[in-house]
Amino acid sequence: MHSLYILYSKKLDRYYTGETNDIKERLKKHNDHSYKNAFTAAASDWEVKLVQEIENKEKAVYLEKFIKRMKSKVFIQKVIAQPNILEELLKNFQ
């Protein structure tokens, strides 16, 4: 099982979307700046806003890339409020 996750930094007032098979470890790495050149290195206050279990990595990556392509804070907030949107998006997964 894989997870799609959305993090939020109050300091930056920004969201970050990713995928993992271990959300606790991934959150720790983001907040500890384990990813030196990553966008998340700009803050240490990342908190989980959404974790959605996805049946495999390929589908989780598909959703992650779709959300990132939208480049929309409003869309991310809509996904957080209505996670069933992700199920609708997966209907287009090939």
Instruction: Output the domain CATH number for residue 35.
Output: 3.40.1440
Helices assigned H by DSSP within the chain? 23-31, 57-70, 73-81, 84-90
Query: What are all long-range contacts of 59-65, with beta carbons under 8 Å and residues at least 24 apart?
Result: 59/2, 59/90, 59/93, 60/2, 60/3, 60/4, 60/19, 61/19, 62/89, 62/90, 62/93, 63/4, 63/19, 63/89, 63/90, 64/4, 64/17, 64/18, 64/19
- The predicted pLDDT at position 94 comes to 75
pTM (2 d.p.): 0.95
Count of domains forming the chain: 1
Domain span at residue 11 reads 2-90
Residues 37-79 have pLDDT tens digits of 899 999 999 999 999 999 999 999 999 999 999 999 999 999 9
pLDDT of residue 1: 87
pLDDT given at position 36: 83
